[in-house]
Amino acid sequence: MTLIERTFRERIVLVGVAVPPVGIAEVEASLDELALLVDTAGADVVSTVVQRRDAPDPATYVGKGKAEELHHISEEVDADTVVFDDELNPAQQRNLEKILGRTAIDRTDVILDIFAQNARTPEGRAQVELALLRHRLPRLRGRGKQLSQQAGIIGTRGPGETQLEVDRRRLLRRVTHLEAELRQLTRTRRTQRKGRRRSGRHSVSLVGYTNAGKSTLLNALTDAGVLVEDRLFATLDPRTRRLDLPGGESVLLSDTVGFVRKLPHHLVEAFRSTLEVVAEADLLVHVVDASAPDPGAQIEAVRAVLEEIGAGKVPELLAFNKADLAPEAKRLADTHSGSVAISALTGEGIDRLLRAVADRLRAGSGWVELAIPYSRGDVLAALHRGGEVADVRHEAGGIRLRARLDEASRGRLAEFVAGAEEAEAAEDLEGVRRD
């Protein structure tokens, strides 16, 4: 980034449209969040406009008259860019820029811009660049040189040599190149995950709205030393650490990118490999910022993204965070059964959270008899790490034992399963020596 870019703060007008059944209050809440996103991207909101319409205008989104009014407002407040809260199609964007005489972008551009600024690793950069290119390619045609040379920065910068004037064909080649690079990285990631799965450990993923406190919690629970910032989308690259649970089991805990309302589809696509760890987890700890204006809406937004990435069926444990700041956390925990109130900052409620995680992982598990050849010390070690093992007998062909396994582990160890036990028998075994 050049010095000029760093000292220049773009002046922004925000525009939201209430199309029934969406009401004005909802649009205003969404605009508050958009203002936060714009601020995170490094620009200043100088004016906000809300309009009510029966349907978006196909040519200009807000309607021609309103667009002209927006032009006047933008001149008055000396705005560089107008940001729309909903996704504009390429034609709407072009038409609006003609009327407004300045860059017109949408929420997606702002989020992509923040991701572009926060990407650190080669994988993160490649994912963001791919999302940017896929989003911008259909919008390149017909954008005059004049406009692209205007002061606006958000929605036009990105990692690498992404410039609007650059030949479309070169950009398409770049897309193909990035896709190949990401496929390779995905393979590597999958191999690593397979290795981890063979260790027999459960995997637990921290998910939640951006800025909910996922990274703070990962740091509090392990010695991850992950970056924590009062900033949206501080984390783009997933981290995995070992976590010892009460009861002796140790699991793999991952932190990943935060979600937000209307998370751009191109980003979800580009981050698919990063998000696979979430879809494959045995349990999700859904971290909720209890001090947020509307925690319920954030929970819904997170669940919508989980659905989109194929993680909608993974069991979820709600953790209402920032209890030190928000008395609301305890009330929310009381009204959501099975959830806990915590403060990742002060450590309050963390013990309870860990016990809940251990309980949830054990839930649905049952006792299974296994026969393991002596050559498979790795399986034996994994079973011991996994928790409860009983009745170990050394026989001629190998080791026979009983272990409490959940469904996923039972599937993984199917070749060693000698016979399932009755649930009552399991009760008798509680407290039996562990090896």
H/E segment holding residue 241: strand 239-244
Q: Does 40 bind Mg ion (CB under 5 A)?
A: no
Q: Does 274 bind Mg ion (CB under 5 A)?
A: no
In terms of Cα–Cα distance, which of 227, 285, 290, 236 is closest to 258?
236
Task: Using DSSP, state whether 420 is helix, strand or coil.
Answer: strand
Q: Which of residues 218-247 bind ligand GTP (CB under 6 A)?
A: 228-230, 232-235
Q: Does 205 bind Mg ion (CB under 5 A)?
A: no
Q: What is the full DSSP assignment across 253-310?
A: EEE---B-TT--HHHHHHTHHHHHHHHT-SEEEEEEETTSS-HHHHHHHHHHHHHHTT
- Site track 232-271 with Mg ion (rule: CB under 5 A), x = hit: --xx------------------------------------
Q: Does 325 bind ligand GTP (CB under 6 A)?
A: yes
3-state secondary structure string across 295-338: HHHHHHHHHHHHHHCCCCCCCEEEEEECCCCCCHHHHHHHHCCC
Q: How many residues bind ligand GTP (CB under 6 A)?
A: 23
Furthest CA-CA distance within the chain: 88
Contact residues for 222 (Cβ-Cβ < 8 A; gap 6+): 241, 242, 243, 253
Q: Does 322 bind ligand GTP (CB under 6 A)?
A: yes
Q: Which is nearer to ligand GTP, 214 or 262 (CB)?
A: 214
Q: Does 332 bind ligand GTP (CB under 6 A)?
A: no
Piece of the chain touching Mg ion by CB under 5 A; list 60-68, 113-121, 211-219, 320-328: 211-219
- Least Å from the CB of residue 103 to ligand GTP: 26
- Least Å from the CB of residue 262 to Mg ion: 20
Task: Using DSSP, state whether 106 is helix, strand or coil.
Answer: strand
In terms of Cα–Cα distance, which of 266, 306, 268, 302 is closest to 287?
302
- Least Å from the CB of residue 354 to ligand GTP: 15
Terminal CA-to-CA distance of the chain, rounded, Å? 59
Residue 117 binds which of Mg ion, ligand GTP, none (CB < 5-8 A, kind-dependent): none
Identify the residue among 16, 155, 200, 213 touching ligand GTP (CB under 6 A): 213
- Site track 367-406 with ligand GTP (rule: CB under 6 A), x = hit: ----------------------------------------
H/E segment holding residue 83: strand 81-84
Residue 340 binds which of Mg ion, ligand GTP, none (CB < 5-8 A, kind-dependent): none
Q: Report the 10 Å Cβ neighbour count for 321.
A: 30
Piece of the chain touching Mg ion by CB under 5 A; list 72-80, 98-106, 134-142, 227-235: 227-235
Residue 232 binds which of Mg ion, ligand GTP, none (CB < 5-8 A, kind-dependent): ligand GTP
Residues of this chain that interact with ligand GTP (CB under 6 A) are 208, 210-216, 228-230, 232-235, 258, 321-322, 324-325, 343-345
